[in-house]
Structure 1
Amino acid sequence: MSGNKGLSRLGAALTGAGAAALWAFSRGTWVSAVYEDTLAGGGTAMISGAEWSAELTAVALLLLVGTIGLLSLRRVGRRIVGAVSALAALGAAVSPATLLLRGADPERAHAILSSGSDGSATGATTAAISEWADITAVDTANLFPVLTLLGCLLAVVGGVCAVARPGEDAPKMNKYEKEAVRREHIREDLDARPDSGRVMWDALDADIDPTEDASRG
């Protein structure tokens, strides 16, 4: 008999949706920065959510693992995974919420865009701007941070559902019950396929006389 899963399946669905949202929407543009460079000239550079908040990718992967755990673990495990997933999603929500409330920090934008400026020597990714470039304006693209925040909210609700109502587990069968079920399945196979060599070997392995069962049927 399968156990009542409570709200853990709903929690898994919401957590999975949150993981997908974090992964997808952190790839969109969160910040655009206008810069001036006396040598290379000015321009506008875009910063994605994954660049602005590098932890989002790790949280999305953690939530994906949590989704699998909510579907496969037993009651206590589901409750623990739900709590961890909810806390991780709550932590991931801080960055997009701060960006939406306070706006983008020009110094942080400069640090992100100029990182890797020595890429020719180290093999790192080439920077979008040089270290001596000046950030003259920054603008927050609200759409993707808002959608990322909603993804975090979905995962938080999913984790809370699993913690609050993790459901019950199916009772574990002891070894005698398992053996009885196995023998019953073998007898059914003997009735259905008495000439099968594999079924006969399974019957002998389970101390069942296939000839006796065949004559009885």
Structure 2
Amino acid sequence: MSETAPTDDKTVVRRRQAVAAVALIAGAATLWAASRMVWATLTVTDDLSPVRAMDVHGSDWSPWLTPLALVLLAAIAAGAALRGWALRLVAILVALCGVLAASPAVSMLVGGDQDSYAAKAIDLAPQFRLLLVSTNGWAGVVVLVGAALAVIGGVLLLRVANGERMSSKYESPAARRAELEKKTFREYRERQQEQPSDAESSAPESERLLWDALDTGVDPTAEDQDSTDGK
């Protein structure tokens, strides 16, 4: 059971990395979609022409939605290439991007001075008089979903970084013994192939000695190598 622990840890890390990538892709797509949505509709007049409606899109209301979506996509590549503290910094940055993306949506949903903000968002000309502002609450919901996905992706990237550190540090005694056995018998077989054929008759006895040495935690091939170097 303990021998498979490092492999299991690596599998968990890869699974978290894949889920994080999916969350970041979904979050980036959601934020981009929110930037294309109509967040508000202004009803205005200039007292000379008929009343007209002007749309305020997400890219007008919150100009950094598209750049934040690009940051999330870049974080996917960074998550695959970076390790350690660099990956942790990327994870924290991604989570902060999610919080930043949510702030304009929260301000729209909870209310406030939306009329003047919407007029400034599209740089409404002074000759127009604002009559009515109708906001689209679903746009705010979409942004909150994208922001939540970004935060989830950041948390998963942070867990990937922590999992890689634990996986690299953890190695059970059984795993070390298994690695020592594979290394020892690989080198032993190579030496057997290089030796004359009459040495094959002593192979079973030699293998028993190898097992005895391994039971004591000694790598016999290392000793043989030292004696050869001494000659």
Q: TM-score range by the shorter chain?
A: 0.5 to 0.7
Deviation string for 1:126-149 (max 9, x for gaps)? xxx532211111111112221121
| Residue number in structure 2 paired with 1:194 | none
Deviation (angstroms), 1:104: 6.2
Deviation (angstroms), 1:45: 0.9
Query: How many residue pairs are counted as aligned between the two chains?
Result: 157
Deviation (angstroms), 1:76: 3.0
| Residue number in structure 1 paired with 2:157 | 162
Deviation string for 1:68-94 (max 9, x for gaps)? 211222233322211110111111100
CA distance in 1, matches of 2:148, 2:112: 21
| Residue number in structure 1 paired with 2:39 | 30
| Residue number in structure 1 paired with 2:212 | none
Deviation (angstroms), 1:103: 5.7
The one-letter code of the counterpart of 2:21 is A
Structure 2 SS opposite 1:168: helix
Cα contact 2:101–2:143 (8 A) shared by 1 = no
| Residue number in structure 1 paired with 2:29 | 20
The one-letter code of the counterpart of 2:164 is E
Cα contact 1:37–1:132 (8 A) shared by 2 = yes
The sequence identity of aligned pairs, in percent, is 29
Cα contact 2:34–2:58 (8 A) shared by 1 = yes
Deviation (angstroms), 1:44: 1.1
Cα contact 2:43–2:133 (8 A) shared by 1 = yes
If you compute each CA radius of gyration, which structure gives the higher value, 1 or 2? 2
Deviation string for 1:28-71 (max 9, x for gaps)? 10111111211333211111111101111111111111122112
CA distance in 2, matches of 1:147, 1:153: 10
Counterpart of 1:150 (choices 133, 145, 150) is 145
Structure 2 SS opposite 1:26: helix
| In the alignment, structure 1 residue 80 sits paired with structure 2 residue 76 | no
CA distance in 1, matches of 2:33, 2:82: 27
Structure 2 SS opposite 1:54: coil
Structure 1 SS opposite 2:164: coil
| Residue number in structure 2 paired with 1:141 | 136
| Residue number in structure 2 paired with 1:91 | 100
| In the alignment, structure 1 residue 47 sits paired with structure 2 residue 48 | no
Q: Which has the higher contact order (CA 8 A, sep 6+)?
A: 1
The one-letter code of the counterpart of 2:47 is T
CA distance in 1, matches of 2:76, 2:30: 13
Cα contact 1:37–1:130 (8 A) shared by 2 = no
TM-score by length of 2: 0.61
TM-score by length of 1: 0.65
Deviation (angstroms), 1:162: 1.4
Cα contact 1:104–1:140 (8 A) shared by 2 = no
CA distance in 2, matches of 1:103, 1:151: 23
Cα contact 1:19–1:151 (8 A) shared by 2 = yes
The one-letter code of the counterpart of 1:70 is G
The one-letter code of the counterpart of 1:156 is V
Cα contact 1:104–1:138 (8 A) shared by 2 = no
**Residues 99 and 54 of structure 1, relative CA distance in 2, 3 Å threshold:** same
| Residue number in structure 1 paired with 2:73 | 64
**Residues 103 and 48 of structure 1, relative CA distance in 2, 3 Å threshold:** farther
Cα contact 1:30–1:144 (8 A) shared by 2 = yes
Cα contact 1:69–1:81 (8 A) shared by 2 = yes
